[in-house]
């Protein structure tokens, strides 16, 4: 989102800022933009306590005992407040909500003084949390939709003032309603009813409710349809329905998008074509979505929408499977070609066939997962992890160089895992894809790509000029992180360090039950949370600087912002 709100756990993607709803995420791939953070705040639910750690000295500064069993840690967008959130006693009943035996709560901490301001009782359970520039915390509590009305618990929206740790107000809301958006000034809130649920327990209707945060009151209710993906900018919501593609034109249902304008209190519905590939939202409010052409057509389509109206439709590669931003261009990966589009001129700049010497470098059903381009604009790498494959494109001559296999033998694991992953982003590339944590990264000079193979627990080094696998390094994990200098980290139950200058593994650190890994905004430090331990690492080399073993079960962290912006902790 372009607003800078911290959102939990609703995922959002776009050409602007992206937050992934992932168990494990790191800012390690991001460029340094802020002043050094001298402290990190660690939530230890096992204690329970919130602990302030001096990164340079590698020691505890202070510890604040907490009540209950807090499991989430939220940082306000200005860094002034930390909020430890507790579900409260109860049991998760899935779509029916939280069968609570007591209320959830928020403990609010002044980050600069590291002192508790107060503790606020919320509702029954916790669903989603938003912070905004107005210093307010907005929380949805799911309640419990019991079979017996006497056992039911209300679903509520609760608004809390962070500076005073006092409740500002609450609203009863319908089952299936969740937070999704706050305006840049924090005064307006959008609630969606009808979030995607199981067929066994669907919500009967869908609508968008507009709430004034100051008065905690409903100002408008807009009817809307169901959706599979939600995008938002500063003025609008985009509710995307993927439809039901079918080879039989009579059975085919095109995808659609409903564009909801908050200022105009209006809903516009537009056709997205057959089998749309999600959507991207630019900072200027331009919305793009790729889809197949009419059934039986030979090409794909890329639609651009602005302010609820169709701007243009461009022809792109057939059977689009991936849409994203690669450097300054949009990129559509189809089954047989890749199309690049200038989003300012709204023109196709290149179409590159996925073939060499008349033979395809990938198969028609290969599923692209991520695309990265070198900083000099010479090469692009397409990762197909389900097929253990990386394809390399020559962007200067608009041709495919070739492809190579990754890993050292298939174990038939990734295909099963792929469906369980969610949204995510890697450096300078924001897009819809089946997975979250980066599985491929580039050396800064663009000479090599490093593709993690989850099946065979190794990293394949791919040459940018030949598309050949020049090395396969045994280093298992779940994601990659590029540290400063020439060090690549592979994160899992161990931290493997790879020197990209030599393409060789140079060390490893055991990370039992890794709960989180993040790098400070300036890149000086990296912090790993493991079972009973907080590890402070050099943010450039990954080498261990300090090991704090006096924790019970640290699970969440937030770096002190010191007046600078950085990413909030992901739950």
| 462: helix, strand or coil | strand
Closest CA to 23 of 437, 427, 425, 370: 437
Domain count, the chain: 1
Give the mean pLDDT of 412-416. 41
Return the H-helix or E-strand segment holding 415: helix 414-418
With contact defined as beta carbons under 8 Å apart, do 379 and 386 qualify?
no
pLDDT tens profile 180-210: 888 888 899 999 887 555 555 555 567 899 9
- Rounded to 10 degrees, what is the CA torsion of 432, 488, 471, 358? 30
Residue 295 banded pLDDT, cuts 50, 70, 90: low
Neighbours of 67 (CB within 10 A): 12
Identify which of 68, 188, 69, 71 has the alpha carbon closest to the alpha carbon of residue 138. 188
Supply the pLDDT for residue 421.
31
In angstroms, how far is the first alpha carbon of the chain from the final one?
A: 17
**Alpha carbons 49 and 66: distance in angstroms, whole number:** 5
Torsion (CA) 279, 280, 286, 287 in degrees, nearest 10: 10
Question: What is the pLDDT at residue 204?
Answer: 52
Q: Which residues contact 54 (CB under 8 A, 6 or more apart)?
A: 38, 39, 60, 61
Choose the weakest-confidence range: 123-137, 184-198, 265-279: 184-198
Question: Would you state the pLDDT for residue 296?
Answer: 63
Q: Is 568 part of any domain?
A: no
Q: Give the mean pLDDT of 328-336.
A: 95
- Residues spanned by the domain of 327: 6-559
For the cut 60, the answer to whether the pLDDT of residue 287 exceeds it is yes
Strand residues in 224-299 grouped as ranges (E)? 229-232, 236-241, 255-261, 266-281, 286-292
Which pLDDT value is given to residue 273? Answer: 93
Average of per-residue pLDDT values in the chain = 85
Q: Does the structure show a pLDDT above 60 at 420?
A: no
Using one digit for the tens of pLDDT, what is the confidence trace for 41-92? Answer: 999 999 999 999 999 999 999 999 999 999 999 999 899 999 999 999 999 9
Evaluate if residue 13 carries a pLDDT over 50: no
Query: Averaged over 462-491, what is the pLDDT?
Result: 94
Joined tokens for residue 58: 């590698």
pLDDT value at position 234?
84
Q: Mean pLDDT throughout 102-112? A: 97
pLDDT on residue 30? 35
- What's the confidence (pLDDT) of residue 347? 97
Task: Quote the Cα angle for 181-183-189, to 5°.
Answer: 50
Residue 138 is predicted with a pLDDT of 96
DSSP 19: B
Mean pLDDT calculated for residue range 452-476: 96
Q: Cα 410 to chain center, whole Å?
A: 28
What would the mean pLDDT of 12-27 be, rounded to a whole number? 31
Structure tokens at 479: 């994601």
pLDDT of residue 430: 28
Beta bridge partners of 394: 379, 399
Inside any domain, residue 564: no
pTM score, whole prediction: 0.85
**What's the average model confidence in pLDDT over 154-169?**
96
Can you list the positions of beta strands (E) in 335-478?
A: 337-342, 347-353, 355-356, 359-360, 370-373, 379-384, 389-394, 399-405, 424-426, 429-431, 440-442, 448-453, 458-463, 469-474
- Which H or E run includes 416? helix 414-418
Residue 159 CB neighbour total at 10 angstroms: 21
In CATH, what number is assigned to the domain containing residue 38? 2.140.10
Cβ–Cβ under 8 Å, residues 395 and 349: no
| 447, part of any domain | yes
| pLDDT score for 310 | 96
In a domain, 468, yes or no: yes
Classify strands 81-86 and 105-110 as parallel, antiparallel or unpaired: antiparallel
Range 468-489 average pLDDT: 92
pLDDT at residue 178 is higher than 80: yes
- Answer whether residue 569 is part of any domain: no
In order, the DSSP letters of 218-252 are: EEEEEE----SEEEE-SSEEEEEE--B--SSTTT-
pLDDT of 279 strictly over 80 = yes
- The C-alpha atoms of residue 55 and residue 37 are separated, in whole angstroms, by 8
Phi and psi at residue 395, to the nearest 5°: -75, -25
pLDDT tens for 487-530 read: 999 999 999 999 999 999 999 999 999 999 999 988 999 999 99
pLDDT (tens digit per residue) in 215-232: 999 999 988 877 888 888
Name the pLDDT band for 285 (thresholds 50, 70, 90).
confident
453/179: higher pLDDT? 453
Predicted pLDDT at 51: 98
d(CA 44, CA 552): 7
Q: Is 1 part of any domain?
A: no
User: In the numeric block, which tokens belong to residue 442?
Assistant: 């580039």
Q: How confident is the model at residue 96 (pLDDT cuts 50, 70, 90)?
A: confident
Q: Which of 219, 227, 283 is nearest to 257 (CA)?
A: 227
């Amino acid at each position: 989102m372009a607003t800078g709100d911290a959102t939990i756990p609703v995922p959002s993607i776009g050409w602007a800022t992206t937050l992934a709803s992932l168990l494990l995420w790191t800012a390690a791939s991001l460029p340094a933009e802020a002043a050094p953070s001298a402290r990190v705040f660690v939530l230890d639910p096992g204690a329970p306590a919130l602990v302030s750690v001096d990164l340079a000295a590698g020691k505890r500064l202070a510890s604040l005992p907490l009540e209950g069993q807090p499991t989430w840690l939220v940082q306000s967008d200005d860094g002034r407040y930390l909020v430890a959130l507790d579900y409260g006693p109860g049991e998760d009943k899935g779509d029916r909500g939280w069968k609570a035996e007591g209320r959830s709560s928020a403990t609010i901490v002044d980050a600069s003084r590291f002192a508790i301001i107060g503790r606020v009782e919320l509702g029954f359970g916790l669903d989603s949390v938003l912070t905004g520039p107005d210093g307010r915390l907005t929380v949805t509590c799911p309640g419990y939709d019991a079979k017996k009305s006497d056992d039911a618990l209300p679903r509520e929206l609760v608004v809390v003032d962070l500076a005073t740790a006092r409740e500002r107000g609450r609203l009863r809301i319908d089952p299936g309603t969740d937070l999704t958006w706050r305006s840049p000034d924090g005064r307006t809130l959008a609630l969606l009813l009808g979030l995607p649920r199981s067929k066994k327990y669907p919500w009967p209707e869908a609508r968008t409710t507009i709430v004034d945060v100051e008065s905690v009151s409903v100002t408008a209710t807009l009817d809307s349809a169901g959706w599979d993906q939600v995008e938002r900018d500063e003025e609008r919501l985009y509710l995307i329905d993927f439809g039901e593609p079918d080879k039989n034109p009579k059975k085919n249902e095109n995808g659609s998008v409903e564009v909801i304008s908050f200022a105009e209190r209006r809903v516009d519905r537009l056709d997205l074509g057959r089998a749309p590939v999600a959507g991207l939202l630019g900072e200027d409010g331009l919305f793009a979505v790729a889809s197949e052409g009419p059934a039986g057509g030979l090409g794909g389509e890329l639609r651009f929408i602005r302010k609820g109206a169709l701007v243009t439709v461009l022809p792109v590669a057939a059977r689009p499977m991936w849409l994203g931003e690669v450097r300054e261009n949009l990129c559509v990966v189809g089954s047989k070609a890749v199309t690049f589009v200038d989003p300012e001129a709204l023109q196709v700049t290149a179409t590159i066939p996925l073939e060499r010497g008349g033979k395809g470098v990938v198969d028609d059903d290969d599923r692209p997962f991520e695309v990265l381009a070198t900083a000099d604009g010479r090469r692009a790498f397409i990762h197909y992890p389900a097929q253990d494959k990386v394809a390399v494109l020559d962007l200067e001559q608009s041709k495919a160089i070739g492809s190579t296999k990754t890993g050292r033998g298939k174990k038939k694991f990734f295909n099963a895992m792929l469906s369980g992953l969610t949204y995510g982003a890697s450096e300078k590339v924001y897009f819809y894809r089946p997975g979250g944590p980066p599985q491929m990264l580039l050396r800064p000079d663009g000479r090599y790509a490093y593709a993690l193979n989850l099946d065979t627990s190794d990293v394949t080094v791919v040459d940018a000029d030949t598309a050949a696998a020049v090395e396969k390094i045994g280093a298992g994990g779940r994601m990659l992180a590029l540290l400063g200098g020439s060090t690549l980290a592979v994160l899992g139950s161990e931290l493997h360090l790879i020197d990209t200058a030599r393409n060789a593994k140079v060390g490893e650190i055991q990370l039992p039950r890794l709960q989180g890994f993040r790098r400070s905004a300036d890149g000086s430090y990296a912090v790993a949370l493991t079972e009973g331990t907080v590890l402070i690492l050099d943010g450039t080399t990954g080498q261990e600087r300090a090991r704090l073993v006096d924790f019970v079960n640290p699970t969440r962290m937030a770096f002190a912002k010191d007046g600078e912006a950085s990413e909030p902790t992901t739950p």
